[in-house]
Amino acid sequence: MNLQRKTVIDGITLALASGGLLVASGVRAEGQTMLEEVSVTAEKRVEKLQDVPVSVTAFSAGTIVEAGIEDTQDFINLTPNVTLEDAYTVSATHMAIRGVGQLNNADPPAVTIVDGVPQNDQKQFQQELFDIERIEVLRGPQGSAYGRNAIGGAINIVTKGPTNEQEGYVKTGIFNGNGKTVSGAFGGPLIENTLLYRLAGSYKKTDGLIDNTFLGTPVDFYESTDLRAQLKWLATDNFSLDLRYETSDLDGGAVPGTNVTGGGTTEHSNIFINPATNTLGEGERDMDSFTMKADADFNAGTLTYILGYTDLEEDYVGDGDWSSTASVLQDQDLNMEILSHELRWTSPDDQPFRWIAGGFHQQTDRTIVSIYQNYVSDNDNTAWAVFGQAEYDLTDRLELSGSLRHDRDERKQTSAGLEETFDAWQPKATLTYELTDDNLVYATYGTGFRSGGFNADGTIFRDETLENYEIGSKNTFFNHRLILNAAAYFAQSDDFQTFYLDFSRTGVQVLDNIDEVDIMGGELEFQGLVTDDLQVFGGIGITDTEIKKFEGFSQHVGRHAPNSHRYTLNLGAQYEFSVGTMDGALRFDMERRGTKYWYPDNIEHQKPINLLNARLTLQQGDFQMSFWGKNLGDERYYVEYFDGGNVLNPPGTFEDSGALGQPRSFGVDVRYDF
């Protein structure tokens, strides 16, 4: 394939939406009578979304602007069966996808790939999203394609790359909490058709919205500065080189929890109390990353090499007893370097038999130091993988595809002289049948693998594996005015990873395993053009987990696994209109999250919550102004909760503690494209 043609194909505009699907081709699409055809790269090839046998939600550059997506939380909130919560540090997050959750200082349940490079640490995921080309969220294990930690799914983020057109944008905004944002990008050719560049940046600052009632100051203050530079060299029609450097400086509140008591029952996690600690937590994360991608095109296929390097430092200190009386502190200083290489060969797309084969290597050096908890954990991880995937057209309408990957993860805790190797084969097989040109069904078997590791005291938590059985259907009706996609799955997890606190152990935070967990559920997404100006969209995700075996804690068998919502519901609409010479769009998004259990005993739980967002955008030419609000109902809920009854060997009386989610926010943005 000619590389210049490939560049054009890779830039095909996606038109998907929040919590389902939404065409996004500007504030107002005049005379639109059908939904736009969409392409994704979910399986490392450019394919039409409706042809890909994967449960996936995607967001285009246009949708990202229209929905006001500015950080990772924004697009996760619009994706069925996936949730994301802020955690105890400025850069930590807890993700759950199809019942598989995130743990403190552990590998994530879904691998995140940014411009082809996997981000395998939870501290990398929290970031501002500016100048983004597209985002894809794949549900279900993607281990055969993306390797370890894709046990619950994969998230593919592609930044906007350089083009031959000199263009860019600038955006600024203000919001409550004395918040302000500035972002922008510009780029074009240094040498037309040969050397292209793009520069982008973002700045955001807020005093915060969640008050500490004892200190009289917000706990969720936040300031971030991000800069990105890209260079693309089209050396020949058959060879290209992409270089990207990004630096990120993030400062903000940390350890925002407070003691939760009262109610007269054993369940306190729906009693909402503002922080009242006598120490204001604070954290900082500095991250620098470099990516190089080289593509060489031949008649027999394309050879791709991707190098990724990240240097990350994070530290925080905060109140350790979540009270206003004592002076116990908790802290952590993290230093991490990650270097990865991937080499793969991709066969041509226009053959009945299509395949990809390659290898992957990643070296991670990670050191954690805590002064107040008196420990040092020095970890060196070396990961290797070989992988291959193939697709074959058995007939014009029947396709058989399969993939296989072997991951080997060698982990060393050099500070304690410990060493352990975790490895797994991850196969996947899919049969896809096109009922018509607009309707298909598929059946999939796939596996996922999340590596084990060491606790601070040197004890080992085991690797987690998952087998997934799935059926699905993708459908387009009424001359492309309605899209309806559905998937149902059953998964079995062995050595499901879990987390608790034990004050008798070094580091206090302990990772462990639940022997067997069954997970079942599904997703249903729709997008429709009610009229040429009114679009509706939505999605529902259902996840039912059951603990089948838990050695040492048999009383929890039959209960739900912790830290995932039993369902998510997304509904929305966008109405486009004209006012004089201006075009406009009014958009509403509603998200409902079902019950979430915090611990395997299922006592403390989060009741269902409803989050309502709205956005009014007015545009004239290249100038755009948006008025927006998030969590308009000012729903109160906890994003993190520690149950005193589940804390082992506490130093005296140990109360429950919780950290509140973001309250109502609102603001105005102004954007100019040039």
Mean pLDDT of 568-583: 96
Separation CA 612–CA 589 (nearest Å): 6
String of DSSP letters for 103-163? -TTS--SEEEEETTEEE-SGGGT--B--SEEEEEEEES--HHHH-TT-SSEEEEEEEPPP-
SS3 call for 490: strand
SS3 call for 472: strand
What residue spans define the domains of the chain?
3-403+415-673
pLDDT exceeds cutoff 80 at 265: no
φ, ψ (nearest 5 deg) of residue 122: -60, -25
Q: What angle do CA 154, 156, 162 make, to 5 degrees?
A: 170
Confidence category of residue 47, pLDDT binned at 50, 70, 90: confident
Mean pLDDT of 331-345: 95
Q: Which residues contact 395 (CB under 8 A, 6 or more apart)?
A: none
Question: Is residue 260 within 8 Å of 644, Cβ to Cβ?
Answer: no
Separation CA 562–CA 102 (nearest Å): 10
pLDDT exceeds cutoff 70 at 53: yes
String of DSSP letters for 249-306? EEEEE----EEE--SSSS--TTS------SS--EEEEEEEEEEEEEEEEETTEEEEEE
Report the pLDDT value the prediction gives residue 20, as an integer from 0 to 100: 37
Mean pLDDT of 247-276: 83
SS3 call for 44: coil
Question: Is residue 246 within 8 Å of 157, Cβ to Cβ?
Answer: no
3-403+415-673 carries CATH number 2.40.170.20: yes
Residues 562-586 as b or e (16 or more Cβ within 10 Å = b): bbbbbbbbbbbbbebeeeeebbbbe
Confidence category of residue 27, pLDDT binned at 50, 70, 90: low
String of DSSP letters for 359-427? EEEEEEEEEEEETTTTEEEEEEEEEEEEEEEEEEESSSSEEEEEEEEEEEEEEEETTTTEEEEEEEEEE
Question: Is residue 409 within 8 Å of 381, Cβ to Cβ?
Answer: yes
H helix or E strand, kind and range, residue 62: helix 61-66
Provide the β-strand partners of residue 28: none
For the stretch 434-476, pLDDT in tens is 999 999 999 999 999 999 998 888 889 999 999 999 999 999 9
Report the pLDDT value the prediction gives residue 321, as an integer from 0 to 100: 82
Confidence category of residue 17, pLDDT binned at 50, 70, 90: very low
User: Could you tell me the two tokens for 206?
Assistant: 């807020």
Report the pLDDT value the prediction gives residue 262, as an integer from 0 to 100: 52
Report the pLDDT value the prediction gives residue 15, as an integer from 0 to 100: 34
Encoded amino acid at 382, one letter: T
Report the pLDDT value the prediction gives residue 562, as an integer from 0 to 100: 94
Strands 110-114 and 153-159: parallel
pLDDT exceeds cutoff 90 at 141: yes
pLDDT exceeds cutoff 60 at 580: yes
pLDDT exceeds cutoff 80 at 42: no
Which of 4-8, 263-267, 538-542 has the weakest average pLDDT?
4-8
Report the pLDDT value the prediction gives residue 3, as an integer from 0 to 100: 37
Q: Tell me if the pTM is above 0.85.
A: yes
Mean pLDDT of the residues in the chain: 90
pLDDT > 90: percent of the chain:
73
How far CA 506 is from CA of 72, 311, 431, 469, in Å, comes to 32, 27, 49, 40
Instruction: Quote the radius of gyration of the chain (alpha carbons, Å).
Output: 24
SS3 call for 63: helix
Report the pLDDT value the prediction gives residue 201, as an integer from 0 to 100: 98
pLDDT exceeds cutoff 70 at 333: yes
Report the pLDDT value the prediction gives residue 561, as an integer from 0 to 100: 96
String of DSSP letters for 554-622? GGGTTSPPSS-BSEEEEEEEEEEEEETTEEEEEEEEEEEE--EESSTT--SEEPPEEEEEEEEEEEETT
pLDDT exceeds cutoff 90 at 34: no
Report the pLDDT value the prediction gives residue 21, as an integer from 0 to 100: 42
